[in-house]
A and B are shown apart, each in its own frame.
Chain A
Amino acid sequence: MRGDAFSMRVFRPASPAEAVRLFAQNPDALPLAGGTDLMVGWNSGRLNGRAVLDLSRLEEWRRIEVTDEGARIGALATHSEIESHPVLLKRLPLLAEACATVGAVQIRNRGTLGGNVANASPAGDSFPALAVYEAFVHTVSKEGRRSLPILEVFAGVKRTALRPGELIERIDVPFLPQPPARQFFRKVGSRLAQTISKAVGAGLLWLGRGGVVLGCRIAFGSVAPTVRRLRSVEECLHSGRLTPETIEKACAALSSDISPIDDVRSTRLYRMAVSRNLLRAFLTGRA
């Protein structure tokens, strides 16, 4: 353990207002939500000398509220709370399922949805689900409040569009107006627990009379610097019928939506092949 506790300054705000004020005064401070990612950096000694803004006392950011329109998930709600929430399980099953695949039980008990988003890993397991549900990230800073579509939060690998002094207070996930005909979530990792995605996908599909595609939202993670909605694929499918030809066209369009790479965890070829397989299986109804 190379983290040096004595080199750290820790702020422990008791209220959101105090958190915002302290963060404005110390914009270099690292917000601490669940700490599951922060501890990795702490262990390596990379964070020595840094200030930490510990959000653990902000009870109001821990709540999950359900309205007629959707769920308002406090930034500090844990993956465990989300995966076992009865309404979320029913109305936002892809998000609940995604949260259930994060790390292992201990990680899910501590890791938070807000922390997951703020950390902006390309492999964030909850992001494809948040992307297809078209979630909004609500932030607060000294300048006031903002609401950003989930896809606009991510600026690159481990980079967000959050401004200095800006904190995520909650994530709003709207319920779907119509139940989808098909939906899928799949995380492809390297083992059954404690694994980082090599590819992770979520999809929603609405079909009308005669199998015409009324709507379609598909997103993949770990295959580009940030989570990607498959806009070209969705466009191929829209308003048409799911014939083998359209499906193949959509699968071919995938390569313009994602840009996987070779790295220590996997290969470009594998990520591309698996994403295409998952997409094809979803569209042919075999996922």
Chain B
Amino acid sequence: MPAVGTNVIRKEGAEKLCGRAKFIDDLSFPDCLHGVTLRSTIPFGRIKKVSFDPSFPWDECTVATARDIPGKNAVQHIETDQPLLVGERVMHPMEPILLVAHPSRQKAYEALRHITVDYEEYDPVLTPEDSVALKAVLRAPDNLFKDVRIDKGDIAAGFAAADIVVEGEYRVPHQEQAYIEPNGMAAWLEPDGTLVAKGSMQCPYYVHKALMLLFNLPAEKVRVIQAVTGGAFGGKEDYPSVIGGHAALLAWKSRRPVKIIYDRPEDMASTSKRHPAVVRHRTGLTRDGRLLAQDIDVLFDGGAYSTMSPVVLSRGAIHASGAYACPNVRIRARAAATNSVPNGAYRGFGVPQTLFAAELHMDRIAEALRMDPAELRRRNLLREGSSTATGQVLRHSVGAADALDACLRRSRYAQKRKACAAWNKRSRNPTWRGTGLSFAYHGAGFTGGGEVFYASKAGLALDADGGVRVLAASTEMGQGEATVFAQIAADALGVPYGWVETETPDTSKVPNSGPTVASRTTMIVGRLVERAARQLKAELEEAAGKVPKSRPAWLKAVRRFLDGRPSREVICQYERPPGQQWDEKTYRGDAYGSFAYAAVVVDLEVDKLTYEVKVTRVTTAFELGRAIHPLFAEGQIIGGLTQGLGYALTENPVYKRGVMVNPHFTDYVIPTSMDAPPMDVVLLEKPYEHGAFGAKGIGELPNDTPAPAVAAALRQATGRWFTELPILPEKICKALHDDKL
């Protein structure tokens, strides 16, 4: 029976359900020390002096500073501008200055209270607007981590031909990934001098590369192992290289295993978040709603170091025009340095920011044209043969119109808009109601030439005991990677799902299949697994005839095939699909192998007494190529939509002088299960020929859609436009009372 397309049992499900799964803080290591971090308390300045209270027993502690780093004091992300520990210049609050390890975690924390840092403070740059105005130079020459320009057609001609021009400005804040398990990492030295790091992470080979640079070690002397990971959502893409470097440095200096586990406030205040952004749109259209010109300006707050900002910005910029075909497009996108905690990856990776603007702007255009928002979208939607802002011509698996129509039908959008309007006319009703629509697309895999550059490898091993192990560095972090890979391998090989396991990522055992990011795991890495399994099947059939169905016959065939070898590994490397082209200099060409498409309709009501917003229903249709595990796909969608609703309505990161001052779940309000509305998910399949079994990546797309739909629904409910997230009851109250209070 094929496994692909069915809801097989999750590989690691029982371990997690029964509490047997060991997260990094559950593991104990002999003679382990606990590491803690002394962090800067100012946004910008210079360290004059660090003093240690002489009455504290420092001989019980290991203290590590920048001077103890044997290699380069730099964290390897895309660039190496971020130091592992402050040398002298402080670029943001919560910046790591030095590390302390002690056998007791509490004593280690206590030690921090006996260290005093004297600073010389400079005037900080706290907004991206101040940064691009060069209020101070944080990064020569222009304070920009990346400056993207996308030009298509003739923007001036487009505006000249337009009947109507609509402008708008949109703002979005930071967003915290809010994984359940905070960042944590352990490190130790093996007797042969190998440096090992184990912990919660998305990208073992990122940490591997970072440790090589920090410790000046060759690849084979560094080993990185993923521990069971309690959620990540992008928040464990770049930061494990920092905390992993810290744990390793303390282990290096103390010659003992060292574990660093953040508590919630430290994790939330000091690790990377979704970039805040300001997005401006100027759009020219014909009277009947055809897009003629889109002029878009995007400004991201990158924080103090580049981390993932260049690629987050790049993805945000490419998606900034929305899922529409417009002949003339100009996009300028910049990510600017500020003296705030660096921002980085969060599920959606720049797209939720720019799509909030693009989609809410479509609603404002529809209103200006007195046109139904769904009709405006339908007239401009990407279709087979359309070209995107980068000039990518979409030829296959373009399910945009299907997703829009399915969602409108399933949600009864048109009837609901009318019913809300009628409800809102009756003044004695206790609420105002609204229904809003948004549409999104999301390219899967690395942007542009990223996949070709990275040349990922993955495959599988057939062992003498008859076991099949999928070999990839892609991590299971709750999304279902271990299960989905086993499904793909089982079907491609022609064996039952139960015969296949997925190896735990460990750089000494698995090839570099790239980071677990960019909605690329199923589509790109899954495809490598599929190819390797088909190759193994061919080899097996050549040696032993048809792949047997019964276990005893299988074992016999495997023995004959291996012929005394302990196992056979087949590894495949990424190959660019024929015809795909990308020019990094001009931003022209095929930005992504494929896009997935989604429409969402949000129904909500606003309490007239308290301005509280209750989302009563979310209906969504996703065109995802092929659902390998439909239940997981639906779970990904529901989870992402819920995070998107939090982004829209409740998650309010309060920043003061470059740092979050509400770094805890009491006051940074993510939705609970009680707040998650009923969700109706429609899956549509238009297989993508280069994805595993036709699958396209959908990990991030759900996060792109809810916020603009919520704002559109609130427009209907309250008659106000809310162009800045989050739309808190306080904002609604103020908008409705502006003249009265």
- A residues with CB within 8 A of B: 1-4, 6-7, 43-45, 48, 104, 186, 188, 190-196, 199, 264-267, 269-270, 272-274, 277-278, 281, 286-287
How long is the Cα–Cα vector from A274 to B737 in the complex, in angstroms?
Answer: 11
B110 surroundings in chain A (CB, below 8 A)? 4, 45, 48
Known: A2-B263, A193-B674, A264-B654. 15 other contacts (CB 8 A): A1-B105, A6-B106, A193-B672, A196-B666, A196-B667, A264-B661, A264-B667, A265-B667, A269-B737, A269-B741, A270-B733, A273-B741, A274-B611, A278-B610, A281-B609
- Is B106 in contact with A269, judged by CB distance below 8 angstroms? no
Cβ of B396 within 8 Å of any chain A Cβ, yes or no, is no
Cβ of B80 within 8 Å of any chain A Cβ, yes or no, is no
B741 surroundings in chain A (CB, below 8 A)? 269, 272-273
B654 surroundings in chain A (CB, below 8 A)? 264
A188: nearest chain-B partner, CB-CB: B610
- Is B672 in contact with A194, judged by CB distance below 8 angstroms? yes
In chain B, residues 653-669, which have Cβ atoms closer than 8 Å to a Cβ of chain A? 654, 661-662, 665-667, 669
How long is the Cα–Cα vector from A186 to B666 in the complex, in angstroms?
Answer: 20
B478 surroundings in chain A (CB, below 8 A)? none
Name the distance in Å between B244's Cβ and chain A's nearest Cβ.
Answer: 21
7 closest cross-chain pairs (CB), A and B: A4-B106, A192-B674, A270-B730, A277-B609, A193-B674, A190-B669, A193-B672
- Is A2 in contact with B733, judged by CB distance below 8 angstroms? no
User: Can you list 20 pairs linking A and B with CB atoms under 8 Å apart?
Assistant: A1-B105, A2-B263, A6-B106, A45-B109, A48-B106, A186-B610, A188-B612, A191-B650, A191-B669, A191-B672, A192-B674, A194-B672, A264-B654, A267-B734, A269-B730, A269-B733, A270-B734, A273-B737, A277-B609, A278-B609
- Is B669 in contact with A274, judged by CB distance below 8 angstroms? no
How long is the Cα–Cα vector from A115 to B263 in the complex, in angstroms?
Answer: 26
B610 surroundings in chain A (CB, below 8 A)? 186, 188, 199, 274, 277-278
- Is A43 in contact with B263, judged by CB distance below 8 angstroms? yes
B733 surroundings in chain A (CB, below 8 A)? 269-270, 273-274
Name the distance in Å between A73's Cβ and chain B's nearest Cβ.
Answer: 26
Interface class of chain A by DSSP: loop
- Is A2 in contact with B729, judged by CB distance below 8 angstroms? no
How long is the Cα–Cα vector from A286 to B431 in the complex, in angstroms?
Answer: 12
How long is the Cα–Cα vector from A274 to B673 in the complex, in angstroms?
Answer: 25
A7 surroundings in chain B (CB, below 8 A)? 106
How long is the Cα–Cα vector from A134 to B106 in the complex, in angstroms?
Answer: 44
- Is A264 in contact with B263, judged by CB distance below 8 angstroms? no
Name the distance in Å between A194's Cβ and chain B's nearest Cβ.
Answer: 6
Among A6, A7, A192, max chain B CB count under 10 A is at A192
Name the distance in Å between B223's Cβ and chain A's nearest Cβ.
Answer: 29
Please tell me the size bucket of the interface on B. Answer: 20 to 34
Cβ of B545 within 8 Å of any chain A Cβ, yes or no, is no
Cβ of B405 within 8 Å of any chain A Cβ, yes or no, is no
How long is the Cα–Cα vector from A278 to B608 in the complex, in angstroms?
Answer: 10
Interface class of chain B by DSSP: loop
A199: nearest chain-B partner, CB-CB: B610
Name the distance in Å between A103's Cβ and chain B's nearest Cβ.
Answer: 10
Cβ of B265 within 8 Å of any chain A Cβ, yes or no, is yes
- Is B672 in contact with A44, judged by CB distance below 8 angstroms? no
- Is B109 in contact with A2, judged by CB distance below 8 angstroms? yes
Name the distance in Å between A195's Cβ and chain B's nearest Cβ.
Answer: 7
B673 surroundings in chain A (CB, below 8 A)? 193
Cβ of B675 within 8 Å of any chain A Cβ, yes or no, is yes
**Contact of A192 with B675 at beta-carbon distance under 8 Å, contacts A1-B105, A4-B106, A44-B265 already known:** yes
A272: nearest chain-B partner, CB-CB: B741
Name the distance in Å between A74's Cβ and chain B's nearest Cβ.
Answer: 28
- Complex interface bits, B328-357 against A, C-beta within 8 A gives 1, otherwise 0: 000000000000000000000000000000
Cβ of B671 within 8 Å of any chain A Cβ, yes or no, is yes
**Contact of A1 with B672 at beta-carbon distance under 8 Å, contacts A269-B730, A269-B733, A277-B610 already known:** no
How long is the Cα–Cα vector from A281 to B666 in the complex, in angstroms?
Answer: 29
How long is the Cα–Cα vector from A264 to B652 in the complex, in angstroms?
Answer: 9
- Is B609 in contact with A274, judged by CB distance below 8 angstroms? yes
Contact of B662 among A1, A48, A264, A277 (CB under 8 A): A264
How long is the Cα–Cα vector from A186 to B607 in the complex, in angstroms?
Answer: 13
B666: nearest chain-A partner, CB-CB: A196
Name the distance in Å between A264's Cβ and chain B's nearest Cβ.
Answer: 5
A279: nearest chain-B partner, CB-CB: B609
B675 surroundings in chain A (CB, below 8 A)? 191-193
Name the distance in Å between A101's Cβ and chain B's nearest Cβ.
Answer: 12
How long is the Cα–Cα vector from A267 to B729 in the complex, in angstroms?
Answer: 10
- Complex interface bits, B262-290 against A, C-beta within 8 A gives 1, otherwise 0: 01010000000000000000000000000
B665 surroundings in chain A (CB, below 8 A)? 194
How long is the Cα–Cα vector from A270 to B738 in the complex, in angstroms?
Answer: 11
A272 surroundings in chain B (CB, below 8 A)? 741
How long is the Cα–Cα vector from A199 to B110 in the complex, in angstroms?
Answer: 37
How long is the Cα–Cα vector from A2 to B36 in the complex, in angstroms?
Answer: 11
How long is the Cα–Cα vector from A45 to B674 in the complex, in angstroms?
Answer: 31
How long is the Cα–Cα vector from A186 to B608 in the complex, in angstroms?
Answer: 14
Among B611, B650, B729, max chain A CB count under 10 A is at B729
A287 surroundings in chain B (CB, below 8 A)? 609
In chain B, residues 96-125, which have Cβ atoms closer than 8 Å to a Cβ of chain A? 104-107, 109-110
How long is the Cα–Cα vector from A186 to B430 in the complex, in angstroms?
Answer: 15
A282: nearest chain-B partner, CB-CB: B609
Name the distance in Å between A36's Cβ and chain B's nearest Cβ.
Answer: 12
Name the distance in Å between A42's Cβ and chain B's nearest Cβ.
Answer: 11
B666 surroundings in chain A (CB, below 8 A)? 196
Among A7, A190, A274, max chain B CB count under 10 A is at A190
